[in-house]
Chains A and B, each alone.
Chain A
Amino acid sequence: MSMTRRKLLFLTPAAAAFLDRLGGEESTPPSKYLLADHYWAMSVDIGKCIGCGNCVRACARENGVPKGYFRTWVERYSVAGYPSEHPEVDSPNGGFDGFPGKNRPGSKSFFVPKLCNHCAHSPCVQVCPVGATFETPDGLVLVDKDYCLGCRYCVQACPYGCRYIDPPRQTVDKCTLCYHRISQGETTACCETCPTGARTLADLKNPKDPIHEFLRTNSVQVLKPHMATGSKVYYKDLDQSVR
């Protein structure tokens, strides 16, 4: 068979398409969990948080978070007066051991649980040079530990301070919103153990989820709204002093 220029022109792209098909086999999701059916978020009711630290301990146990590192933590705010430019904030060991009782007469005190906000327009995803941090179709921000270089760009980019470098691996780690649990129909470890229901996992794509009622009927705010991160952790009755 003689190779004419015409034949070559036809054959080259055909071979390319064939090879590309060989390489790009789609990975199949392991279970019945359908990415398109969910869009995860969380609601936090400040008025219900008692600062017990159950969420912090449960998160550490469920996800094997190293000591001294936190995927979720609780802050105690004490606001002496307004304008509250510099509220007093403490979080001893992230709230892991609870908060020793302190009476600050005349000041307003409350607890603020914090975790990754699983932003829809996440700054950490934008800065990752290797695409190791990504937003999933079901609304989570996750890390591909096999591709993370440990460059720490995302640690700096996260305006909420939710990322840390996992000491043994030297790759970044963060809250996964207990993806291994919620994809099996369970709630997150922090929500599971929150005794007052201050935290609730929410699925924005589920029309029956109480989150819709929660968002409609309450004064709801996200952290650092001016940064337009598309945060999906919705705080009820968040004080303006919270940073």
Chain B
Amino acid sequence: MKDAAHLLRLAGLFAAGIVIFLLIRRELVPAGFGQYGHFRPGAMDAVRARPMTYAGRTTCEMCHEGQLKLLQTGKHAQVGCEACHGPQAKHAGDSSSITPVLPTPHLLCPVCHEANSAKPKGFPQVAAKEHSGGEECTTCHNPHRPKPVG
């Protein structure tokens, strides 16, 4: 045993080194690192934690049944509510105090329907100013069922 003392000291040093290494590693490596790959899973949670700005059409449909029924009978049936009405997650969260502002038709409609040679054939396009002759779009078209009645 006496002859092995120097070896024991060396082994002790190694063991201490390993323990120190593991302690430092434990501090530096983030929790769960490597669980799904070479990254920190917490980063996924951080991205997911962002609040939503757009409520989504299904949320709108929960209250606005009347508009939904009308919408489904026309050409805009597949258009999401917030495509025209803008982000409404706040309104969906607190509908009593936050009232959405209605879009201005002659500014909104041409965003999609202003004629442009790059738009696909068959998509209804007009030169808005000539088409309307200064009238508001909603004079003839109901945006929820755009085909003019009568």
Closest A-chain residue to B4, C-beta based? A5
Per a CB cutoff under 8 Å, which of B12, B39, B48, B54 touches A62? B54
Contacts of A110 in B (CB 8 A): 118, 120
Q: Are A142 and B43 in contact, with the CB atoms below 8 A?
A: yes
Q: Identify the A interface with B (CB < 8 A).
A: 3, 5, 8, 11-12, 15-16, 19-20, 22-27, 29-30, 33, 35, 47-54, 58, 61-63, 76-78, 98-99, 101-104, 109-111, 131-132, 134-137, 142-147, 176, 179-181, 183-184, 186-187, 189, 192-197
Given A25-B31, A51-B119, A12:B15 Cβ within 8 A: yes
10 additional contacts (CB under 8 A) given A19-B26, A98-B114: A22-B26, A23-B25, A27-B45, A30-B45, A51-B116, A101-B116, A103-B117, A144-B39, A186-B54, A195-B79
Q: Count residues of chain B with CB under 8 A from any CB of chain A.
A: 59
Interface bits B30-55 vs A (CB < 8 Å: 1, else 0): 01111111111111111111111110
Given A5-B8, A176-B47, A180-B50, A109:B117 Cβ within 8 A: yes
Contacts of B98 in A (CB 8 A): none
CA of A33 to CA of B34, assembled, Å: 20
Q: Are B4 and A193 in contact, with the CB atoms below 8 A?
A: no
